Every structure is written in structure tokens, then in C-alpha cells.
Amino acid sequence: SSQSINPSYGYLWWLNGKSNFMIPGAQIVFPGPLVPNAPADMFAAMGASDQRAYVIPSKNMVVIRMGDASDPANPTFAVSGFDNEMWAKINAVIQ
């Protein structure tokens, strides 16, 4: 992490596996990793409309997600339940 305010964010990348995280526009600290179903060493670029670039060094893997927002009511929300659901499905085939 490049700063102490949000240990799950640094240098424009989201970092999984940290003890807590904050989301843009809120001053609330959420306990636990950013995406509980994703590998702890995952880091990700997370953009509007659920555009994603996940990097997982331990798996020698990169996952790119492009498409419409999974939650049209919140298309610019950086972190969404979509990430955890998607990683549950990915884990079923990589483990």
C-alpha cells in the first residue's frame, strides 16, 4: 500500500488480502479482505461499470472483465458484490 488511510489501495491499484478496506466516497472502514473469494495476493484495476483487470501472481494468472455494469443502479461503484461472486466461480475451476 502506498498510504496508511486505506491499506487495500495504492498507486491506483486495489490490493486484496489486507485487514480492511475503504470504498470511494465513504469514510467507513470495512473489515476483512477486499474480495474474500479471491487469492490474497490478488491486485486489481477496478473501473466504472465493473471493468476489471485482476492480477494473481501466485497463480501466474491475469483475468480481464469487460462488459456492462453488473449493478446498473451503481455503475461507477469500484468495489461490488460482483467481484466476490465471480471469484467463487473462478475458484471452482482453478483449485
Write 59-64 long-range contacts (CB < 8 A, 24+): 59/94, 61/94, 63/90
* 3-state SS track over 27-79: CCCEECCCCCCCCCCCEEEECHHHCEEEEEHHHCEEEEECCCCCCCCCCCCCC
Residue 3 lies in a domain: no
On average, the pLDDT of the chain sits at 87
Confidence class of residue 25 from pLDDT cuts 50, 70 and 90? confident
> Taking residues 34-49, what's their average pLDDT?
92
Question: Does 2 fall in a domain?
Answer: no
Mean pLDDT of 40-67: 92
In a domain, 4, yes or no: no
Instruction: Look at residue 1 and tell me if it is in a domain.
Output: no
d(CA 91, CA 87): 6
- CA–chain centroid gap for 31, Å, is 14
Q: How many domains does the chain have?
A: 1
Say what the pLDDT of residue 77 is.
57
Give the structural domain span for 45. Answer: 9-94
Q: Does residue 61 belong to any structural domain of this protein?
A: yes
